Amino acid sequence: MRLDVIVPTYNRHEMLKRTLDSLLAAEVPTGLEVRVTVVDNNSNDRTRQTVEEWMGRFGGRLNYVFEAQQGRSPALNAGIRATEGDLVGMIDDDEEVDGRWFECVQRAFGDGGVDFIGGRCLPRWGAEHPAWLPRDYPGVIGWIDSGDEVLPYDENYPGILMGGNAVLRRSVLEKVGLYATSLSRNSKRLLSGEDQDMYQRLLESGARGLYLPDLIIHHYVPPERLTKRYFRRWCFWNGVSHGLIERERRTPVAYLLGVPRYLYGRAARGMLKVARGALSREDRAISRASSTASIFTGRRAERKV
């Protein structure tokens, strides 16, 4: 069984070193062949030199691919096209895999009954965890933890498969297609819809997926992502992302001016809660309510994207 791990990266050569070191340190079980492909997404730092310096440590198991089209989806797609393994793994350049990550992959796909897996993304804080961050918005900073039990990815799963910690059978990717480049995040747009779109296509195809609590990566959360400004910006682009997805997948609800009608009431209630929260200094309430307003604004703005 061969696993190709794809690492898209853009101008993070120092963090990339930690990612590559973690892949080197993780134990590879007998019977699993692992190769790593770093996709340089048009970086202008020392990304290429870093990969070339690490190639000797990997003993021929590390490859470099350049992708000029900016965005996470084009980078992932370039990595998928450049590899041939029957399993395709994906992590980000600000992550480190757990020492038993490869063992978990081999166990999951050993019996042939699973098509894709995901797991925990645990934060490695670059600054103190802010008290105002709503507990039901951990995805803003890439914090994914659905508990200690194995769960099926289906309509009851509390989230989606996140591409920062995922492994899929290549045969499934060939069936559902590559990542949607129109929904891709880049240095200018904080879109976040490519994972949602891929997840929906996987479920619609009948593919069987599992959330595995032992499939763990550690995700660095820089101080600039622990600000209310970033939180509001993420929520805005989350609204844009969902609007773009609904262009192709219309939700069966009433619409007003291109936006689901229920969002108008939700946004109004959110702004009222912002005002009440400001008076009572309830930071968490303000954050949750302002996120609703930001998502609504993003949905309205989506029509201009």
Task: Tell me the backbone φ, ψ of residue 58, rounded to 5 degrees.
Answer: -90, -5
- In this structure, the answer to whether residues 283 and 218 fall within a common structural domain is no
Confidence label for 264 from pLDDT (cuts 50, 70 and 90):
very low
Full residue range of the structural domain in which residue 270 is found: 228-304
Q: Are residues 121 and 51 in the same domain?
A: yes
Residue 252 shares a structural domain with residue 209: no
Q: Is the pLDDT of residue 262 over 60?
A: no
Return the percentage of the chain with pLDDT > 70, whole number: 70
How many independent structural domains does the chain possess?
2
Let me know: does 4 contact 35? Beta carbons within 8 Å: yes
Helix ranges restricted to H, the chain = 13-25, 47-58, 72-82, 101-109, 170-176, 194-204, 228-248, 262-280, 283-301
The pLDDT, as a whole number, for residue 125 is: 86
Residues 239 and 173 in one domain: no
Same domain, 52 and 181: yes
Among 210, 225, 240, give the residue marking a domain's end. Answer: 225
What is the average pLDDT across 14-38?
98
Please report, for the domain that includes residue 54, its CATH number.
3.90.550.10
Average of per-residue pLDDT across 97-107: 98
Domain boundary among 204, 225, 246: 225
pLDDT tens-digit map of 48-58: 999 999 999 99
Based on the domain organization, do 179 and 296 belong to the same domain? no
CB 15 within 8 A of CB 41: no
pLDDT value at residue 137? 60
Q: Does 254 share its domain with 167?
A: no
Same domain for 195 and 165: yes
pTM above 0.85, yes or no: no
**Mean pLDDT on 283-298:** 43
Does 66 share its domain with 113? yes
Does residue 295 carry a pLDDT above 90? Answer: no
| Top-confidence residue, 94 or 222 | 94
User: Whole-number mean pLDDT of the chain?
Assistant: 81
Q: Is the pLDDT of residue 292 over 50?
A: no
Kindly report, residue by residue over 189-229, the tens digit of the pLDDT. 555 678 888 999 999 999 999 999 999 999 998 888 777 77
Last residue of a domain, one of 189, 205, 225: 225
In this structure, are 87 and 165 located in the same domain? yes
Q: What is the pLDDT of residues 57-88, one digit of tens each?
A: 999 999 999 999 999 999 999 999 999 999 99
Residue 27's φ and ψ, nearest 5 degrees, are: -75, 130
- By the 8 A CB rule, do 211 and 151 touch? yes
Q: Which residues of 29-63 are buried (b: 16+ CB within 10 A; e: fewer)?
A: eeebebbbbbbbbbbeeebeebbeebbeebeebbb
pLDDT the model gives residue 141: 67
Do residue 103 and residue 238 come from a single domain? no
65 and 213, same domain (yes or no): yes
Low-confidence winner among 60-69, 84-93, 136-145, 168-177 (lowest mean pLDDT):
136-145
